[in-house]
């Protein structure tokens, strides 16, 4: 059985082993696959493992031998599910492998915004402290988290993990589920989260109704000087509107691990907006999370081969 990994580098840049996959068939691993080579590299493979290489309807139609696509991600927007279903291709994803890593990254961003440890460390290494007069100094306003209200939009596994960390910091938590639906199970509405929170963290999936969820209108409903954090999907945030809110002071800061286009264009307005902390979509990528990803990937494949497919999508 021929197995092809189309883009393995981000999952395993060399610090992990593909052995759990190789044990299940004749494995070929490509670090990256440009679109023009996808069909050539995938042709003849019964099993495709994929992260971000697009598997469009046109591509799938040229792969009659493909029977299974194992996505190395939770999201599945890179594959045409309707075409996969039409061809009888089983598609699986990797749920819940990066919950703790993403939740921790939310607070890495938040603490950098509120305490600016990186900025002050750079200052100390430049010699500013050695050459200073006082036993201490600070270069930016310092904000305490304790007692503040932390708003969560999207209350799945990651949202719930974030809530526990916020509570451990002594913060009050407001959370909503699907922002387009009425609240239930002790949650509050999207509007209540926006109006009542000092910090708002986004954890909603990318669906048509959540594209541009944070825009000029919804940003205007937030407290003056609030902080917005996005570790969900880049298009959930209207970047031009968010940059304008930062420039006006409506938002005091913005932290994100995701942008609408990745890598971002050089003229992305958030790259030049004030008070932004941006990381390169790395929240999921702790070694521990990637080990879990590979374990689930292998388990998904074994289950499919045994006729008991799990974590299917579409």
| Cβ density class 174-206: b for 16+ within 10 Å, e for less | bbbbbbeeebeeebbebebbbebbbbbbbbbeb
Is 146 assigned a catalytic role?
no
DSSP state of 291: H
Is 67 assigned a catalytic role?
no
Cα–Cα distance measured from residue 254 to residue 245, given in angstroms and rounded to the nearest whole number: 10
User: What SS3 state is found at 287?
Assistant: helix
| Cβ density class 17-44: b for 16+ within 10 Å, e for less | ebeebeeebebebbeebeeeebeebbee
Cis? peptide before 43, omega within 30° of 0: no
Cα–Cα distance measured from residue 86 to residue 95, given in angstroms and rounded to the nearest whole number: 24
User: What SS3 state is found at 116?
Assistant: coil
CB-CB neighbours of 147 under 10 Å: 10
Residue of 41, 43, 120, 281 marked active site: 281
Supply the DSSP string of 134-149, one letter for each residue: SS---SS-----TT-E
**DSSP-H helix ranges across the chain:** 19-22, 38-42, 57-61, 81-86, 99-115, 117-126, 157-168, 190-196, 216-219, 239-248, 269-272, 287-305
Question: Could you give phi then psi for residue 306, rounded to 5 degrees?
Answer: -85, 0
User: What SS3 state is found at 192?
Assistant: helix
Residue of 116, 233, 290, 292 marked active site: 233
Is 262 assigned a catalytic role?
yes
Cβ contact 240:234 at 8 Å: no
Q: 71: which strand partners?
A: 50
Q: Which residues are catalytic?
A: 233, 262, 281
């Amino acid at each position: 059985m021929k197995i092809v990994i189309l883009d393995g580098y981000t999952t395993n840049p060399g610090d992990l082993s593909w052995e759990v996959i190789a044990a299940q068939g004749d494995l070929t691993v490509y670090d990256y696959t440009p679109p023009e080579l996808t069909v050539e590299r995938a042709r003849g493979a019964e099993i495709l493992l994929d992260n971000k290489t697009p598997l469009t309807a046109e591509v799938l139609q040229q792969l009659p031998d493909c029977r299974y696509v194992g996505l190395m991600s939770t999201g599945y927007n890179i594959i045409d599910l309707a075409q996969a279903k039409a061809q009888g291709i089983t598609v699986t994803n990797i749920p819940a492998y990066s919950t703790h890593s993403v939740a921790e990254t939310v607070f890495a961003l938040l603490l950098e915004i509120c305490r600016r440890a990186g900025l002050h460390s750079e200052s100390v290494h430049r010699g500013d402290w050695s050459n200073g007069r006082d036993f201490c100094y600070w270069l930016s306003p310092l904000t305490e988290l304790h007692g503040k209200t932390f708003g969560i939009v999207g209350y799945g596994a990651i949202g719930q993990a974030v809530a526990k960390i916020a509570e451990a910091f002594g913060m009050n938590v407001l959370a909503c589920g699907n922002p387009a639906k009425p609240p239930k199970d002790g949650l509050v509405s999207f509007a209540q989260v926006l109006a009542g929170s000092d910090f708002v963290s986004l954890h909603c999936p990318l669906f048509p109704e959540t594209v541009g969820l944070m825009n000029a209108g919804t940003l205007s409903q937030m407290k003056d000087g609030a902080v917005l954090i996005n570790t969900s999907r880049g298009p959930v945030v209207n970047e031009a509107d968010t940059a304008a809110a930062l420039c006006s002071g409506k938002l005091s800061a913005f932290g994100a691990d995701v942008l609408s286009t990745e890598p971002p264009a050089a003229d992305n307005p958030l790259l030049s907006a004030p008070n932004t902390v941006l990381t390169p979509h790395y929240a999921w990528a702790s070694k521990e999370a990637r080990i879990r990803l590979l374990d689930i990937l292998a388990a998904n494949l074994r289950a499919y081969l045994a006729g008991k497919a799990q974590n299917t999508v579409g």
